[in-house]
A and B are shown apart, each in its own frame.
Chain A
């Protein structure tokens, strides 16, 4: 007969209570948000009485997760950038040209004179005057190739050498191109993230999309072009001679010198010559590695002109320190150990492995590795977002009220039960949304409104069924039981099919559409829960207390 185990009752009540508590912060959105921001500021050591007061505005023991508002509600900028991965092939080939030239010149006896032919910048074409030596030339160049690690197996090298008549064509191999693309996009992502973090806006989204795209969403920023300016600026990396090192932030500097703080040591300032020896624009690569003593270090490589400048400088200044400066902070100031002629060098210091890895990332991240092309950009002004929130709020409240009244008129007491469940349902949706940190968008609000309409469906199915069963069944208790039992398969089938579409929307959609899928999907879950557990609990509890002889649904 009509029974629910006590532990199940407790569980159902606990779930409802948890939903309400988790949803609560959203009712005081601005206050909780300010309090969260203030706490984050305190964490960063920014502690003033005013910030303390803001932090205290929301009690610490309360949950403080909020529903993220999407760009269309908060305002902000959205960019979809495509990394021009091909740019990197060209610079790689350029950097490789001196090696190729030197290698071929060494074989002059066999292949004659060489001449580089004009070609696509992503490849190198060399004509040799003695085509009979072609196989020798190819052999020499293949020896330059370095093996690369791939998932598909060993044997792959980074370049491909092919002969076309009296010309040799050198280009990056497919495997190397793929590996390079991946590296390029990850670097670009890292740089974009660093750039945006530096500006310190709230909760930016920076994601890789597909093979070569980056999605950037920054709430609260004025416009997409502003955002493009931020991420378009390359980090300024320079190598400067060090004049002196000190701890005085106001130290006097001579003409053509500047005072720059160290990035990782407090109260250390370097006086540097303002004119850099080399800049990061001439850096081709940087990798974490180890020095001859096995200590973590970073190796780096310059392009041709950078290599010459760097080689000359190191030859003349052995024993003197020089500073690696990134955006007006000294990353490190190693002492030049020896003449570094080949354009590649090693930075040693008191690094941990982690630090050397980071430094390599920073060095590489200095400049965007390839150009960005913007495929999509959207700016939503904060006023429009606020208008949408206001309109959405009013619409949701009216929709809600209309449905509540309609249900009460149609089903009387049972309608009131359904209404209570509906209110809980909304609370559960918001509770879940805040807990998983989902983003609420304008279509998302529509999803909630649709859920309001559809959430009653499960209850309607049950109530209609109880009505039917009342005509034939033995009594109210049996009718209620049968009503739930028989309506269940329809409720589940109907909701599972809708849920399938929500999942597909989530998987394929982006931005606002995805927001809609989330609220729709969560709404289905919570509405099934409230219909088959919560209203049932209410009805059974009511029935146990009253024991009515007849019921009217």
Chain B
């Protein structure tokens, strides 16, 4: 008895309400963007500068006491949060303390860290500082720049690659889906105020990669079917292609999600934000390859005469033999 998530033959109509789906996506993107503008991201020190100290103690974390201990140092904006995680032992009480970058300081100031550590030590004698990270505003500014460049470059490179391997309409569709995924991910991070740091940029780029993976598989089938069925309307070809690849789409998403969810639950709190971004990205990416990329392809239209394979139409790999 086989496990089947998708029946053997499906014929869903994915474009019956394509205006609705595109509308929903557009509305979500506007929402995400609005949230980003209004609330902004909860930048980690990588992008904002400042210091985070992770403490561990056998005593339960008393955020008020920590705050009182640090307050006399007058360090401006100090955030103290207790961290909970199922992987912690019974005597592991963890807190994260974030201190803003001090005015007029380009670099990291060691004295501040020492003072904070001393103050906390006085308040909670058995406290341990399991990690201390400090980033100067000079570097954090550059990190933002590199991050933006990285995402833009990735999307640009993909645009070119798909354009070369398919047609420009495919490339636009794929990139629209990518932009959609990236904006929605940033929106979720701004709405839920999850810490946004360098690792999240890595996650964003992976989402770009994953979403693309999905889109390309669908497009590959579209290309094949366009050659095979010259008389069927584009809408039906797209529907057929998506239905044919549906089983694979679901299988791959489920296996990837299985892996990611186990990492989310068991992988510890340090990478939870990172894994969350990826889980979200897999879901959004799967959705967008059907409802954004393909819909835009339908909307833009595509050349129908694929009978003469041009050198850009890609089956130059197709004869590789094991």
Q: Which residues of A contact B (CB under 8 A)?
A: 4, 8, 12, 72, 80, 82, 223-225, 228, 373-381, 383-384, 387-388, 390-392, 394-396, 398-400, 402-403, 406-407, 409-412, 442-443, 445-446, 449-450, 452-454, 456-457, 460-461, 464, 467-468, 484-486, 488-490, 492-498, 500-502, 504-505, 508-509, 511-513, 516-517, 520, 532-533, 536-537, 540, 552
The answer to whether A399 touches B130, judged by C-beta atoms less than 8 angstroms apart, is no
User: Roughly how many angstroms separate A532 CA and B319 CA in the complex, as a whole number?
Assistant: 12
Residues of A within 8 A of B134 (CB): 224, 376-378
Considering only residues 192-207 of chain B, those with a C-beta below 8 Å from chain A are 198-199, 201-202, 205-206
Residues of B within 8 A of A468 (CB): 244
Using a Cβ–Cβ cut-off of 8 Å, how many residues does chain B contribute to the interface with A?
83
Closest to B138 in A: A375
Residues of A within 8 A of B5 (CB): 410
The answer to whether B221 touches A490, judged by C-beta atoms less than 8 angstroms apart, is yes
The answer to whether A532 touches B322, judged by C-beta atoms less than 8 angstroms apart, is yes
User: Roughly how many angstroms separate A315 CA and B136 CA in the complex, as a whole number?
Assistant: 51
Residues of B within 8 A of A497 (CB): 158, 161-162, 209, 212-213, 216
Q: Tell me if B71 counts as interface (CB < 8 A to partner A).
A: no
Residues of A within 8 A of B2 (CB): 409-412, 552
The answer to whether A501 touches B136, judged by C-beta atoms less than 8 angstroms apart, is no
Instruction: Report if A443-B259 is in contact (Cβ < 8 Å); known contacts: A384-B130, A513-B202.
Output: no
The answer to whether A402 touches B318, judged by C-beta atoms less than 8 angstroms apart, is no
The answer to whether A223 touches B267, judged by C-beta atoms less than 8 angstroms apart, is no
The answer to whether B258 touches A399, judged by C-beta atoms less than 8 angstroms apart, is yes
Considering only residues 290-322 of chain B, those with a C-beta below 8 Å from chain A are 314-315, 317-318, 320, 322
The 4 closest A-B pairs by CB, nearest first: A453-B256, A391-B268, A453-B259, A498-B209
The answer to whether B256 touches A82, judged by C-beta atoms less than 8 angstroms apart, is no
Considering only residues 111-151 of chain B, those with a C-beta below 8 Å from chain A are 113-114, 128-136, 138-139, 146-147, 149-150
User: Roughly how many angstroms separate A394 CA and B262 CA in the complex, as a whole number?
Assistant: 9
Instruction: Give the A-B contact count at a CB cut-off of 8 A.
Output: 260
The answer to whether A460 touches B248, judged by C-beta atoms less than 8 angstroms apart, is yes
Q: Is the interface of A mostly helix, strand, loop or mixed?
A: helix
Q: List 18 A-B contacts (CB under 8 A).
A: A375-B106, A378-B131, A378-B133, A383-B56, A383-B128, A387-B87, A391-B87, A394-B266, A399-B263, A443-B202, A446-B275, A449-B260, A452-B259, A453-B255, A486-B224, A490-B220, A492-B317, A501-B206
The answer to whether B259 touches A508, judged by C-beta atoms less than 8 angstroms apart, is no
User: Roughly how many angstroms separate A221 CA and B87 CA in the complex, as a whole number?
Assistant: 25
Of A225, A396, A450, A494, the contact of B114 (CB 8 Å cutoff): A225
Instruction: Report if A493-B220 is in contact (Cβ < 8 Å); known contacts: A449-B263, A460-B248.
Output: yes
The answer to whether A460 touches B252, judged by C-beta atoms less than 8 angstroms apart, is yes
Q: Tell me if B4 counts as interface (CB < 8 A to partner A).
A: yes
User: Roughly how many angstroms separate A410 CA and B209 CA in the complex, as a whole number?
Assistant: 25
The answer to whether B131 touches A403, judged by C-beta atoms less than 8 angstroms apart, is no
Q: Tell me if B271 counts as interface (CB < 8 A to partner A).
A: yes
Considering only residues 76-113 of chain B, those with a C-beta below 8 Å from chain A are 87, 106-108, 110, 113
User: Roughly how many angstroms separate A109 CA and B248 CA in the complex, as a whole number?
Assistant: 93
Q: Tell me if B153 counts as interface (CB < 8 A to partner A).
A: yes
* In the complex, per-residue mask of B24-59: 1 if CB is within 8 Å of any chain A CB, else 0: 000000000000000000000000000000101000
The answer to whether B220 touches A489, judged by C-beta atoms less than 8 angstroms apart, is yes
User: Roughly how many angstroms separate A495 CA and B162 CA in the complex, as a whole number?
Assistant: 12
Of A391, A410, A508, A533, the contact of B266 (CB 8 Å cutoff): A391
User: Roughly how many angstroms separate A321 CA and B68 CA in the complex, as a whole number?
Assistant: 64
Of A445, A454, A488, the contact of B317 (CB 8 Å cutoff): A488
Task: Give the Cβ gap from A385 to chain B, nearest Cβ, in Å.
Answer: 9
User: Roughly how many angstroms separate A100 CA and B108 CA in the complex, as a whole number?
Assistant: 39
Residues of B within 8 A of A8 (CB): 322
Q: Tell me if B65 counts as interface (CB < 8 A to partner A).
A: no
The answer to whether A502 touches B209, judged by C-beta atoms less than 8 angstroms apart, is yes
Task: Give the Cβ gap from B12 to chain A, nearest Cβ, in Å.
Answer: 16
Task: Give the Cβ gap from A358 to chain B, nearest Cβ, in Å.
Answer: 33
Task: Give the Cβ gap from A194 to chain B, nearest Cβ, in Å.
Answer: 23
Instruction: Report if A403-B255 is in contact (Cβ < 8 Å); known contacts: A376-B108, A376-B135, A395-B262.
Output: yes
Q: Tell me if B278 counts as interface (CB < 8 A to partner A).
A: yes
User: Roughly how many angstroms separate A515 CA and B196 CA in the complex, as a whole number?
Assistant: 19
The answer to whether A457 touches B252, judged by C-beta atoms less than 8 angstroms apart, is yes
Closest to A532 in B: B322
User: Roughly how many angstroms separate A383 CA and B129 CA in the complex, as a whole number?
Assistant: 10
Known: A379-B133, A450-B259. 13 other contacts (CB 8 A): A80-B139, A375-B139, A383-B128, A395-B267, A399-B258, A402-B262, A453-B256, A457-B252, A492-B317, A500-B209, A501-B208, A504-B150, A508-B150
Residues of A within 8 A of B198 (CB): 509, 511-513
Closest to B250 in A: A460
Task: Give the Cβ gap from A397 to chain B, nearest Cβ, in Å.
Answer: 9
User: Roughly how many angstroms separate A546 CA and B205 CA in the complex, as a whole number?
Assistant: 45
Task: Give the Cβ gap from B237 to chain A, nearest Cβ, in Å.
Answer: 16
Residues of B within 8 A of A403 (CB): 255, 258-259
